[in-house]
Amino acid sequence: MVNEQKLVVLTGAGMSAESGISTFRDAGGLWEGFDIMEVASPQGWRKNRQLVLDFYNQRRKNVLDAIPNAAHYAIAELDNKYHTTIITQNVDNLHERAGSKNIIHLHGEITKSRSTVDNNLVYDIKGHELNIGDQCEKGSQLRPHIVWFGESVPEIFTASEIVSEADLVIVIGTSLAVYPAASLLNYTDKKTPVYYIDPAIPEFKFRPNVVHIQQKATEGVQTMIKKYMKD
């Protein structure tokens, strides 16, 4: 029987790291040897489309080769108990493949492409390659369906409304240091319980009702379920 409580799960790179998906950022501003602004910005796209497409083709292949981990499956099981919404900063589809249904991708989806003249035209990519010459129905080159640096995050408004109505929030594998996603916890009621699962100490200040489970996603989700969600 589904509980009437609304559960919101905010996930970041640490959720998929144990599935072998590399994190987007590191200390040097590089992503697997690439300058982020060269492969994840409108300027980079205008400068060298082939480089950008090649980069995401390889990332897409990595995602398709990866499999959901125990944390993905455990969160999917919570659908059977709560009205669950996942708000993820990840562009992979591991939540979907684990069985979760209600997912908001803040930063886009790597398995999809988008028109460069009409943002409403979004297509599934067959296989892992998107190439020069692949066009939308309006004859324009397709680009990765990713929110790049300097672009707006259309889903943030929907996400903030959902978080504001949450009865329980779980944050997994994200420092919530990158805006606008970093602002989402500000929309929760101060009395709403928050479980934060990550080995690191986050940059945001803990509120009295935040429980920090200082473990990786697969271990931390199981700890949370056994200790705090027994009913």
Look at residue 205 in the predicted model and tell me its pLDDT.
Answer: 64
Which CATH entry fits the domain spanning 1-21+68-107+153-231: 3.40.50.1220, 3.30.420.40, 3.90.950.20, 3.40.50.2300? Answer: 3.40.50.1220
The mean-pLDDT minimum among 81-85, 178-182, 192-196, 227-231 falls in: 227-231
Fold of 25-65+112-146: SIR2/SIRT2 'Small Domain' (3.30.1600)
Closest CA to 144 of 162, 168, 167, 119: 119
In the residue annotation, 72 being an active-site residue is answered as no
**157: amino acid identity, one letter:** F
Chain mean pLDDT for the chain? 91
Residues 80-86, mean pLDDT to the nearest whole number: 94
pLDDT at 125 over 90: yes
DSSP strand pairing (168-172 vs 6-11): parallel
Higher pLDDT, 26 or 74: 74
Residue 230 has pLDDT above 80, yes or no: no
Percent of the chain with pLDDT over 90: 77
Residue 106 pLDDT greater than 60, yes or no: yes
Given a cut of 80, whether residue 19 has pLDDT beyond it is: yes
Give the pair of three-digit tokens for residue 59. 């990332």
Confidence of residue 26 (pLDDT cuts 50, 70, 90): very low
pTM, two decimals, is 0.92
Residue 30 in this model has a pLDDT that exceeds 50: no
The domain ranges of the chain are 1-21+68-107+153-231, 25-65+112-146
Give residue-wise pLDDT tens across range 126-174.
Answer: 999 999 999 999 999 999 999 999 999 999 999 999 999 999 999 999 9
Position 229 scores a pLDDT of 78
Q: For residue 29, what pLDDT is reported? A: 46
**Cα dihedral 28→34→36→39 (10° resolution):** 180
Local confidence band at 183 (pLDDT 50, 70, 90 cut-offs): confident
Query: Using one digit for the tens of pLDDT, what is the confidence trace for 69-82?
Result: 999 999 999 988 99
Identified catalytic residue from 107, 128, 145, 212: 107
Q: What is the 3-state secondary structure (H, E, C) of the chain?
A: CCCCCEEEEEECHHHHHCCCCCCCCCCCCEECCEEHHHHCCHHHHHHCHHHHHHHHHHHHHHHHHCCCCHHHHHHHHHHHCCEEEEEECCCCCHHHHHCCCCEEECCEEEEEEEECCCCCCEEECCCCCCCCCCECCCCCEEEEEECCCCCCCCCHHHHHHHHHCCCEEEEECCCCCCCCHHHHHHHCCCCCCEEEECCCCCCCCCCCCEEEECCCHHHHHHHHHHHHCCC
> Rounded mean pLDDT of 8-16?
95
